[in-house]
């Protein structure tokens, strides 16, 4: 009798252990994003520069009061914007100061929110376009920023922002997609009033 009782007790214990479920946390998942085919059109207006931008974006002047000229390339479907700010630099000292201030701002953002910064040189001596592109990793408000200059009197600054709470993991595919559009913009960028461009006309 005792043996039967022990066997029954053992069976019940094994049964109770086998019924216990192990809960494994699911990894974070994000919505699939479908991107359009890449196609570009030329922006050529009253501004002292031209560039190519995606056909799935719209270019609008920045209406905020400022001493600089601003343009916004908006992507409503993705709640994203490339902000462009143009300045006419009076002298080389101002240009040097602008570049230094820009560098300090980028790395102050990194110290506060981001994990790191990768720098990529923009250099097109034939078109007189020089500058830097910054890839900012981590949950910074803007993950791609850049500037371009003719090293004489013109400079333009750009930054990619999304109208959402910064989350690098969920935004990473969108950032990578629009980063390629920014690369195309920098490669197609031309100044209208540089000495090199004027001598070619």
Mean pLDDT (whole number) for 47-54: 96
Q: pTM for the complete prediction?
A: 0.76
Per residue in 132-161, pLDDT (tens digit) is 999 988 877 888 999 999 988 899 999 999
Say if residue 59's pLDDT is above 90.
yes
Instruction: For 92-143, write each residue's pLDDT tens digit.
Output: 678 888 888 888 888 776 656 667 889 999 999 999 999 999 998 887 788 8
Q: Tell which residue, 71, 62, 145, 162, has the closest CA to residue 104.
A: 145
- Distance (Å) of CA 124 to CA 39, 48, 110: 22, 17, 28
Q: In the prediction, which pLDDT does 112 show?
A: 65
Structural domains of the chain, with CATH: 40-200 (3.40.1000)
């Amino acid at each position: 009798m005792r043996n039967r009782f022990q066997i029954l007790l053992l069976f019940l214990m094994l049964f109770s252990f086998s019924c216990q479920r192990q809960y494994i946390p699911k990894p974070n998942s994000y919505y699939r994003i479908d991107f359009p085919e890449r196609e570009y059109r030329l922006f050529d207006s009253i501004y002292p520069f031209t560039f190519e931008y995606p056909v799935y974006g719209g270019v609008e002047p920045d209406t905020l009061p400022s001493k600089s000229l601003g343009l916004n390339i908006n992507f409503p479907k993705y709640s994203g914007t490339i902000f462009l700010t143009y300045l006419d630099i009076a002298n080389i000292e101002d240009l040097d100061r602008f570049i230094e201030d820009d560098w300090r701002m980028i790395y102050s953002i990194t110290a506060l929110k981001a994990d790191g910064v990768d720098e990529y040189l923009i250099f097109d001596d034939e078109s007189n376009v020089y500058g830097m592109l910054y890839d900012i990793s981590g949950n910074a408000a803007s993950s791609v920023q850049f500037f371009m200059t003719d090293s004489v009197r013109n400079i333009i600054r750009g930054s990619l922002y999304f109208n959402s709470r910064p989350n690098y993991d969920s935004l990473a595919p969108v950032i990578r997609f629009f980063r390629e559009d920014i690369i195309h913009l920098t490669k197609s960028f031309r100044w209208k009033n540089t000495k090199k461009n004027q001598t070619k006309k």
